[in-house]
Amino acid sequence: MTLLKKILIACWFCAQTLAAHAAIDAALLQPLAGDDPDARIEAVNKIAALATDDAYKLLDALRNDNVYATPDGKVFIVGDGKAYDPATGQTVPTPDGADAITVNNRLRGALEGALSGFRLLSKDPAERLAAALEMQKNADPGQLPMITKELEKESDPQIKSVLELVAAAANLQSPDAAVRKSAVVALADSSNASLLPTLRAMVEKTPDGTYAEPDEAVRVAAVGTLNEINGRLKRTEFIGNLFYGVSLGSVLLLAALGLAITFGLMGIINMAHGELLMIGAYTTYMCQMLFRQYFPGAIDAYLLVALPAAFIVAGAVGVLLERTVIRWLYGRPLETLLATWGISLILMQSVRSIFGAQNVEVANPSWMSGGVTVLGSLVLSYNRIVIIFFAFFVVAAVWLILNKTRLGLFVRAVTQNRRMADCVGVSTGKVDMMTFGLGSGIAGLGGVALSQLGNVGPDLGQGYIVDSFMVVVLGGVGQLAGTVIAAIGLGEINKFLEPVAGAVLAKIAILVFIIIFIQKRPQGLFALKGRSVE
C-alpha cells in the first residue's frame, strides 16, 4: 500500500505540474476583457508566443466568439454550459454576469495571423514550410515573439530562411533605424511582391515634402532591395511565361497533331476535328465514373485506362466517318468542309443529349495534383508537366509509326503519288481509312490531356479547331517537325503577348502574323517534298 500511495502522489504532482505549465498567466488574459483595442491585440500576440495547447485553444475560441469576460476582468472559454478558466486550467460553472468578448475585424485579423503561426509547431516539415510561406505574405510585428522562438529550434534550413525573411518583414516597422536597415538588407533575398508597396513608401516623399522613412541609410538600402526584388520577379515572370508557353504549345500540339495527319497528309479539311477532341475528353470522364463506382480504391489509375480507351473510341468514330461520308468527298474540299461541319454539329448535339449541356468535372489523379515551387514563388503544376512530356511522347510515337512501320510506308507512298501506289498494289482506300482513324485517335489522346486542365463540355473542341489549323498551316502541310515547332512557337508568343496586349489582341496579332507569313511563304516553315507538291 505504501508503494501504491507513493505512485498515486507522484502522479498527482505530475498532473498538477502539467496543469500549472498549461495555464496562462492571468496578467496576459486581463487585457482581453478590457476595451483598449491595441492592448487586446498585444495580448493576443503574447498569448500566441506561448505556443502551448491552451494558448491555441483560447485563441481559437476567441475567433469563434466563445470567450467570455466577467466584470472583474477574468476570462473564460464557454461551451456546453460550462466555463474553462485558462488561468487555472479548471472547468467551472459559467460565472454570473459573464459577457461574450466582441471581436472586431482588426482583432480577428490578428487572431488569424496568430493561429496561422501555430502551424509552425507541426512535426511535418511541409506543414511548417507552408505556414512560414503563409506568414510571409502578411508579416506582423506582433508575430515576432513566436517567430523568434521557432527560429531558435527550427532545424530545416529552408524553413529557417523563410522565417528569417518573415522576421525581417515584421521588423520594417521597428522604431529602431538600425533594425529597420538590417531588415531591409535581409529582404533583398525575398521574392515576395507584397513587400514592394512598403519598400516604395519608404523611399517616396509624402505630400508635405518629407520622406516616410526619416533615415537616409535605410532609404538607400530600400532602393537596393527594391531593385533586387524587381529583378528577381522579372526573371521569375520570364521563366513562368516560358513554362506556360511550352504548356500551351503542348496542348496545341496534341490538338493539332491528329489534324496534321488528316489535313496535312490526306488533304481533308475536317471541321469535326474539335469534336474528336471532345469525344476523347468524355471518354476520360466515363472511365473516371466507372472507376469511382467499381474500383474506388484504384481511382488514381483511371487515366491509364482512359488513354487507350480514348484512342480507340475516337479512332473508331473517325473510321466510321471516313467510311460513311468522307470517302466520297476526296478532292472536293468545299463539300468536305460543309459535310464535316454538319457532322460536328451532330456530334455536339449527341453529347448534349447523352451527358447534358452542362460541363462535367474530370478530377486529376492525386499524382497529378499540386505542383513544385521554384524560384521562391513560381509554381509549376504537375498536370501541365505531365502533359508536356506526354505530348512529346505522342509525337515520338507518331514519328515511329510514319517512318518505321508498314502503315507509315504506305501512308507516305499514297501521299506522294496515289496513282503509282495504287498501281503497285497498295490498297489506297484501306490506307485512307487507317490514316484517318490514326489522326482521329490522336485527337482523342489530345482530349484526355485537355480534360486534365479544365472542365469538359460539349463545346470543348470549338476553342481549338482554329488554333489547330493555324499550327498545321504555319508548320507546313504534312510536316511533323513543322507542326511541333509551330505549336510550341505559337504557345510561347501567345503567353508573352497576353500580359502586354491582352488575350483578345494577342490572338488577333498571332492571326495577322500567320496571314503575313503565309503570304510570303505559302508552304509554311517546312516545304513538302515529293510529287504531291506538283
> Cell numbers at residue 303, please?
487515366
Q: Which helix (H) or strand (E) holds 395?
A: helix 382-404
Residue 219's pLDDT band (boundaries 50, 70, 90)?
A: confident
67 close to 33: Cβ distance less than 8 angstroms: no
Please state the rounded mean pLDDT for residues 428-452: 88
> For position 19, what pLDDT does the model report?
41
Distance of CA 192 to the CA centre of its chain: 18
pLDDT per residue over 78-87, tens digit each?
Answer: 877 788 888 7
> For position 525, what pLDDT does the model report?
67
User: Between these two residues, 19 and 71, which has the higher pLDDT value?
Assistant: 71
How many CB atoms within 10 Å of residue 15?
A: 11
| Residue 515, Cβ density class (10 Å: 0-12 exposed, 13-18 middle, ≥19 buried) | exposed
The torsion angles phi and psi of 461, rounded to 5 degrees, stand at -75, -20
Please state the rounded mean pLDDT for residues 20-31: 68
> For position 141, what pLDDT does the model report?
66
> For position 197, what pLDDT does the model report?
78
Which phi-psi region, left, alpha or beta, contains residue 398 (left: φ > 0; alpha: ψ -120 to 50)?
Answer: alpha
Q: Could you give all domains of the chain from N- to C-terminal order, each with its CATH number? A: 22-107 (no CATH), 131-214 (no CATH), 236-533 (1.10.3470)
| Residue 418, Cβ density class (10 Å: 0-12 exposed, 13-18 middle, ≥19 buried) | middle
Identity of residue 322: E
Distance between CA atoms of residues 61 and 8, nearest Å: 33
Please state the rounded mean pLDDT for residues 128-153: 70
Nearest to 518 by CA among 475, 464, 485: 475
> For position 11, what pLDDT does the model report?
47
Residue 532's pLDDT band (boundaries 50, 70, 90)?
A: very low
Give me the chain's average pLDDT, please.
79
Identity of residue 509: A
pLDDT per residue over 272-299, tens digit each?
Answer: 888 999 999 999 999 999 999 898 888 8
User: Between these two residues, 71 and 442, which has the higher pLDDT value?
Assistant: 442
> For position 305, what pLDDT does the model report?
92
DSSP for residue 95: P
For the cut 90, the answer to whether the pLDDT of residue 308 exceeds it is: yes
- H runs (alpha helix) in 23-63: 26-29, 37-50, 53-63
> For position 137, what pLDDT does the model report?
66
> For position 1, what pLDDT does the model report?
47
* Helix-helix angle 273-294:333-355, to 10 degrees: 20
For the cut 60, the answer to whether the pLDDT of residue 20 exceeds it is: no
Distance between CA atoms of residues 86 and 75, nearest Å: 8
Measure Cα distances from 323 to 182, 409, 442 in Å. 75, 22, 18
Residue 346's pLDDT band (boundaries 50, 70, 90)?
A: very high
For the cut 60, the answer to whether the pLDDT of residue 13 exceeds it is: no
147 close to 170: Cβ distance less than 8 angstroms: yes
Distance between CA atoms of residues 264 and 269, nearest Å: 9
Residue 264's pLDDT band (boundaries 50, 70, 90)?
A: low
202 close to 215: Cβ distance less than 8 angstroms: no
Distance between CA atoms of residues 129 and 131, nearest Å: 5
How many CB atoms within 10 Å of residue 55?
A: 23
Of 151-165, 372-386, 408-422, the one with minimum mean pLDDT is 151-165
Distance between CA atoms of residues 268 and 439, nearest Å: 11
Identify the bridge partners of residue 379 per DSSP, sorted by sequence position. Answer: 373
> Cell numbers at residue 167, please?
522576421
Percent of the chain with pLDDT over 70: 87
- Quick one: three-class SS letters along 329-355? CCCCHHHHHHHHHHHHHHHHHHHHHHH
Beta strands in 47-133 (DSSP E): 67-69, 75-79, 82-85, 90-93, 99-100
Distance between CA atoms of residues 359 and 491, nearest Å: 25
Predicted TM-score (pTM) of the model is: 0.68
Please state the rounded mean pLDDT for residues 227-252: 87
**Cell 468536305, residue located:** 336
> For position 441, what pLDDT does the model report?
92
Distance between CA atoms of residues 274 and 446, nearest Å: 10
User: Between these two residues, 442 and 147, which has the higher pLDDT value?
Assistant: 442
For the cut 90, the answer to whether the pLDDT of residue 115 exceeds it is: no
Pairing relation of β-strands 67-69 and 75-79? antiparallel
Please state the rounded mean pLDDT for residues 156-181: 75
Q: Indicate the SS3 state at residue 183.
A: helix
pLDDT per residue over 464-522, tens digit each?
Answer: 888 888 888 887 766 778 888 888 888 888 888 877 777 677 777 877 877 787 777 76
